[in-house]
A and B are shown apart, each in its own frame.
Chain A
């Protein structure tokens, strides 16, 4: 005859819970410390990693998504690997010439080598700044663009002319107070040799707060005169289009194997990678951090959940008489269960919201003191809330069922 289990409205349950939380502010806070720690650490780490991700992606894709690199040495994970790579043949200008002639899918190949040294103008002297050697094709793939002047020409590359392009900060530092464009035509000294400034590059931006604009670029042949030819070159290749990147990488690999006379069983003695290679590696690394984080957070949540369960058991004991009253006026098992479950979930979510707030506050604090950007990650909020709701349900169900099972007569007599 009876129709049991009409649920008390969700809003009603939440109001009861909020009232109880408010009535026991300190206890409620202490109860959810576990949740606060777990959730704030999720939010904090996710926010930081997302910020780092944004920076890292920017760096790896700065030279353009299509560009891939041919290098003597790839990424190494051990000393042994590093030693093995040292015996690899250097990449030379003849290799570059061979690839330019033979490869059908390349649009441009840039020979490059990087070093560092001193740059001077008058009394201004800059020590140990980046010196980049490039072949003229660099003009075709450079994503930065010119603030003033021009790139160097093929003859200037091959004849090792003393011409240089300089970064925006280098211009500022060498010619303080002057418009960067006025640097054009001035003669500076690089490693003690005279160079004519023919171009100033646009800003490459900053990464992790460090300026990327302190460098000079000189023709690769000139670079070899300064630093010698004993160091290996590396090649940046621009394929003929985004759709032939794979094909161009395959072709580069094949040609390099022919060039190095490798037999089919031999491993590559060079490294070909594009930005996605590094991004994949980086993403593996952050996935590892996430996995460790999930483990730590899971432990914090279990501890937090057990505390919530204990407090809810105490709350049920404290409010035994209330349960008796509610049952006397007609609350069913399900209605009492629902009420205390909603209370446990509300408590847990209360902790979760504090954790989210704290986590973001900490992330914003870190962002304001470090060069890391502050990235708001919506999914981490959703995941955190879903998790604390789950914790509330899992650890609230037992106390709630204890309340719901109370005998109304005994409960009404409870002091």
Chain B
């Protein structure tokens, strides 16, 4: 499992110069509320559809990130982004307004680290000076695409997760001030034949375990060498499984955090097994981890976004759910 060749070290460690996070209503009631750059009190943002609202979340986030980086839109060399809507329309339509050179990505909820790893390759080889990485998800848009209409009176299973209404954006440059991306590992698709669309943490946990093991092997590191090993949205079930899978490989994690468990209070917010969505790991990275890395509170963090790669069609056809996790290693400012 520990294939050292999967871990890449950029020629120069690129820097996340600026970042921004935007959240919706439920996120504004959660434990990380005070750490977001912008919180919207209602999730439609006055738009006619949830899809349009998600597009606006991305726009708000990109604009905030550029403002913090003191960049004008024409200085962005490339935007890498994606979301959960079919054909990634939230990002594409946001780009219609923003006008950056754009390459769309789809890695489901793993898209944020997919984008950051690619940006690290592009900026780390000095090919592009300013790469914007952004992802989002919207609870209402995801529910109608993957599950049932919002008004439908169904009961959620305790393993189901709550799609975050949130967006995160990072600006990656070859140099500057900010947390560095010192290494990265692109994940491999892993499928241990979970078929329950209401238990995606279980489907993604094996992929996260595998990428963590590969990254540790590639770096010759121990879990204790990191201040935190963070996963995107495994939730309660996926977290339990991840820890068990790693234990089985002789790796004991004591510094694990999961963005899906951090974003909401499971006891009071009725989010099932925790948060999920492409915007979950992106927003928690930008709201919580990057500011702490910049402040020197964390020195070294391994950050993974985790994705479940099914579609509604493959699910209905009885296919199992493949998982994917990409890792980036972040070094804080001293």
* A in complex with B: no
| Interface residues of A, Cβ cutoff 8 Å to B | none
